[in-house]
Each structure stands twice: as C-alpha cells, then as structure tokens.
Structure 1
Amino acid sequence: MSADSADLAARIDMTKPHPARRYDYWLGGKDNFQADRDAAEAIAAVFPHIRTAARENRAFMQRAVRFLAGEAGVRQFLDIGTGLPTADNVHEVAQRIAPESRIVYVDNDPLVLVHARALLASSPEGATAYIDADARTPEKVLADPALRETLDFSQPIALLMVALLHFVEDHEDPWSVVRQLVAALPPGSYLVLSHATFDPLDAETIAAMDAVNKNIRPLFSPRPLAEVTRFFDGLDLLEPGIVSVSDWRPQPGPRPTPAEATGYGAVARIA
C-alpha cells in the first residue's frame, strides 16, 4: 500500500457516521457503513419522509443543472459537497446537454475520494476534476491548482452548494463561506443552493428531530427562511425564488409537500 493509500484508509472512520454516506443510504446506495445506517435510521424513525426529502433534493440539483446547461448556456460547474457518486451526477446531467461542459467536484469525505474515478468519467469534449477539501476552508478550494486548470475564470461558473450548508454551524459562519466563493466568480455566474429547514414541520416533529440531532455529528443545523435568504444577499434570484426544493421549476405531476421535502432551494445569478 502506498503512503497516500495508507493515509486515505486511515481517514475513513467506519465507526462515525458521515453526511455523504448517510445521504447515500437514503438514496438507496451501497457505499455506507453500519454507523451511517444507524444514524440514518434514527432520523427516519422520527421523520419518515427523510428518503423523500433526499430524493427531492437530488432532483432539484438535476433540474437546476439542466436549466443552467440548457437555457442559461453555462459550461462550467463547481460542485462543493459533492457526495458519493450515484445516478446522474452533475457532469452526467450537464454533458448530456453540452458535452464540452467542465466540472470540478469538492468533498471532504475520504470515501468519496475513493470513488472519485466515477466522478472523473468525463466526455471526451469536456473535463472533470476532484478536490479533496472542506467547504469550511474556501480559500483552500480556490487555491487548488485543479480548479484553475479545469475552469476558466473569465467565463461564467455555476457554484453548487446542495444540501451542504446545514452541516456548517452558525459559529463557523456559513454565510461568509458563500460570500468568499461567490466573490471569486466572474460576472454572469450562478449560485445553486439548497438547505434543510424545519419551517413546515409541526412542533412535535421538530422536538423529536432536535433530540436525535443532539447525538449525531456533525451537528445538523436546519435554518428558517430568513437565514437561508441571507445566502443570496446581493444576488439576482431567478424565478420562482427561494421555495421548497420540490417546487423549484418542477416537472408536471404530483409532488411532495414542503413538510415532506423539508428543504429550500434556489438559483441566483451573480451580476
């Protein structure tokens, strides 16, 4: 085993749940450990719609990427908090529309790094890259050579922060993280963001979720609409604004209620 492989193996702690692996479990994936499954089931026990919420969040991301690659003509994507590869990752959705699209993925879970080759299967016309970094250190993401080698910062870039920032606590200032990243992007870029919320839930469910949350790390920080809105300060929100992820430019047909999706989603243009 190489030194890099040994270091990577040492970083994968199967005894502690990780949000990316828990999300993978809810989506029906296989890349998770017992600790992840136990934490996921503890949440599902008090909020049975959690798998629906995970699927709806994923579908929001895919619709946003289709819009950006299609109608908006964006050809570059920076996906922070990528998660484990599953069906229709960002590069697959974007390159299906525009094969020349270029995507940089960022995540801090070493298991995602193990599977990063699935995220690097770019079309011949486009390109993908992977950065092993934490969203809490945007300066590290922005300084990584792979970012500038893959994306052209003279052209618009779509920044995706999907189901990520509710794992960044208030004292870590997630709003500053977003501001730093947005400030580095050229005019005409976009921010795609989704965030968990308890706004549509009843008091009993909220109390049960809070009780479970006390025993799970990293701490889960759902936020009300006013705090989610702060992420978009100074940006031009696209229609329909900040809404339930299920209600952002949905496909025809029935869809979950805000209380089942439990997440806000929006896309904004950076002037």
Structure 2
Amino acid sequence: MKYLLLIFLALNFKLYAQQQPDMDFPISIENPKYGVDKTALIGIDASHHNLHQLKTNFAPFAKLMCADGYNPISIEEITKQSLDPLNIFVISNALHSTNVGNWSRPIANAFSENEIDMLESWVENGGSLLVIADHMPFAGAANELAEKFGFSYEDGFVMKSGRSSWPPETYSKKAANLFETPITKGIDSIAAFTGSALMAPSDAIVIAKFPTTHRLLIPDVAWQFDESTVVKPTEKVVMGAILKYGKGKVAFFTEAAMFTAQIVQDEIKVGFNSPTAPQNVQFVLNTIHWLDSGLIVDRTDYSVKD
C-alpha cells in the first residue's frame, strides 16, 4: 500500500507541474455586478513569486471577474498607493525567493513585516483581502500573514487516507462538511483539489471542514512521503473561513485550483471547469461579492486587463 501511495503522489506532482490555465472554459453572467460605466478593481498579487497570477494560472479567475464587471489588475508591489484604489486584493500561492524551485524545509515567510502591517492596516480601514495558500510550501510561506489576522496555516497536504485516485474532494451540505454561510447561499456542493489546512479564530465563519477520512501529512520535502512523515488528524482544522476585521473583511482558503480553471496533461480539467465542480463558479462569485468593499471607480479611468 505504501508503494501504491508513493506512485500516486508522484503522479500528482507530475500533474501539478504540467498545469495550464483553461482559457476556453465558457463563462456567461446574465446580470454582472458592474456595468458599462462603473467598475471595481481586483488586485492580484504578482510580487511574491506567486504560482497564480493574473496572466498565468489565475487568468481564468480574471476572466470570470471581467465577465462580472470587475477589472482585475496585477499588483507588482504592495504599497499604500497600490492598495488604496482596490476593492479587493487577492494573494494566491505566494513564495519567498529561497523556496522557488526548492520545496523543502525550511519554508521561508514570503511577506515582509512592513507588508503584513500595511495589509492589516488597509483591511482595518475597509479593505478586503482574499488569501489562498495551497499545500506545502505555499501555506508555510503565507503563515505569518495569516497569523496577523488570527488564522494559522498547517504547511502540509490534506489527503484521504489510502487514496488511490486523483482529486477533487467534494464538500457538500448533505455530507455536513459544507456549511450554510454568506458565501454558500444557494450552493449545495463545491470541489477542491488537494491543499493545506487552516486553523481559524473563534469569531470567523467556517466555510467547510475536511471529511473525517482525511489526514494532514507534513513531509520534509513536498510530495515526498515515507514512514517518518508527520501525520495529524483534521478535526480541528478547516478548508476555508471568512471574517469581518475592523471595517474590512478577510477570507482565507487552503486550495487555489477551486478558484480558477486549469488543464493538466492536456486533458484533465482541474478547477471550476471540472465536471465535478458545477457550482464552483457561483461559489467564487459569492466569495467576491461578500468581500466587495463597495469601492467603485470610473471604467474609463482603468483599462480592463486581458
């Protein structure tokens, strides 16, 4: 069984390395949030060696945001000037330079103390922040940022015990691991694709918890598991949570593919384009609409990015 698991995990890593954004996935929104004259800016972090950026693996997310009337822009540096015009700021799978191509411990914090303080101040004064940190090493790189808001990432892999098939994981209200929240109204189930784990503060609203069949694996090197790998239960960790923080809002999640659309090995659909994730598009829209800070700009002042 151990060798079967290792073969499966090696396949997962190969698939991960071959992922490409699925820009052909059709998106149609009957009543967009914003119209012809007004829009709202969604900043997507590109300043921390992010695996998911505006023109790479988060391009389908940006396409969805454009269809809803938002204007996604790339943020090359976190400063007061770059944050102030934003309705929402999205950070997905940030890394420190020392861990680019080196997914072994120690995993360095991706954010400077000044950046973390600046983001907290921005949220406290009305900003909205979406942080997504996937399995190791991304959760470790974002943990200090999460802790500033009362959250904590476990930098590992949440996986089903004895798994023998490719994800996704399905979270559903029927299974009682997807909860009725402001961002799951009208949604019965969502799918996610192998991520990390999150500890949320008591005043946060938990979106989903892991199935009881799952365990948290914490290896020394990403995707390399053996008898020495630390294994933890998942009863006290969650898949995602949201929180009102000062005058603003934050949302923390443990898996990035569920917010975008990707293809691996030229055929396997991973994300909201997957046939196993028919409600993920609406879930992403619900999340963004809950985070929406109400900051609107004239569309003529900003060009929509492709």
Scaled by the length of structure 1, what TM-score is found? 0.36
Q: Answer 1 or 2: which has greater strand percent.
A: 2
Scaled by the length of structure 2, what TM-score is found? 0.33
| Higher RCO structure, 1 or 2 (CA under 8 Å, sep 6+) | 2
